[in-house]
Chains A and B, each alone.
Chain A
Amino acid sequence: GESVGLHLPTLSVQEGDNSIINCAYSNSASDYFIWYKQESGKGPQFIIDIRSNMDKRQGQRVTVLLNKTVKHLSLQIAATQPGDSAVYFCAETGNDYKLSFGAGTTVTVRA
């Protein structure tokens, strides 16, 4: 069946180090992917997106990599800061304008 999932539910990273959060998806028809950040008590906040015709996209301190061959998505955060502590979700959609979310990775930044 269709599913979106993350490899690890938690990630602890030292402040200043780079973080890599991984996500696997199963729907071959997925053509749009988003990473969201969710802080405690708040709604998901858009970080970065990528379409299936790309394999890499960069934003401010973040990079999303897409490997369609193995249906794998990753989010890299450069120079992780305490404010990056949150739950990170990957989400995907086909052409139905309906996002399906993964289970989330909780990132904790150690000072």
Chain B
Amino acid sequence: EPEVTQTPSHQVTQMGQEVILRCVPISNHLYFYWYRQILGQKVEFLVSFYNNEISEKSEIFDDQFSVERPDGSNFTLKIRSTKLEDSAMYFCAGIIEQGSEKLFFGSGTQLSVL
């Protein structure tokens, strides 16, 4: 299975602080995604990214969230001012096949907001 690498694996932060979660997708990934999973709940869509811009975002993805692909490889999710309810596992995912919706997920970053 194509590998998607996420760093860090765990991130602990204080409420109100900014965090940046990083993802290194396969170089030929076409679409990039961020999903999150609150403990014990289902995986929720946050945002999709195509051609260096956001193609769709969910209502969860408010003004506190932003995504970038600054250097053409790393794909980042920034949360400007974290809240307690942002505590979750955040997954990066990508599509590598043109015309396919098959997503390959990274191993996730566990974000804990204290």
Residues of A with Cβ closer than 8 Å to B? 32, 34, 36, 41-46, 49, 89, 91, 93, 96-104
Contacts and interface: CB of A to CB of B under 8 A. Distances in A.
9 closest cross-chain pairs (CB), A and B: A43-B105, A101-B43, A103-B42, A44-B105, A101-B42, A43-B107, A32-B101, A43-B108, A93-B101
Given A43-B108, A89-B43, A100-B45, 10 more contacts: A36-B105, A42-B108, A43-B106, A44-B43, A44-B103, A46-B102, A91-B43, A93-B101, A98-B56, A101-B43
Interface of B: 1, 4, 31, 33, 35, 41-45, 48, 50, 55-56, 91, 93, 95, 101-108
B42 A43 contact: no
A43 B35 CA distance: 10
Contact of B91 (A34, A43, A46, A104): A43
Contacts of A101: 35, 42-44
B80 to A, nearest CB: 24
Contact of A34 (B33, B50, B102): B102
A99 B41 contact: no
Contacts of A93: 101
B37 to A, nearest CB: 9
Contacts of A42: 107-108
A75 B102 CA distance: 17
Nearest to A103: B42
A95 B28 CA distance: 21
A99 B100 CA distance: 12
A17 B91 CA distance: 32
Contacts of B45: 98-100
A45 to B, nearest CB: 7
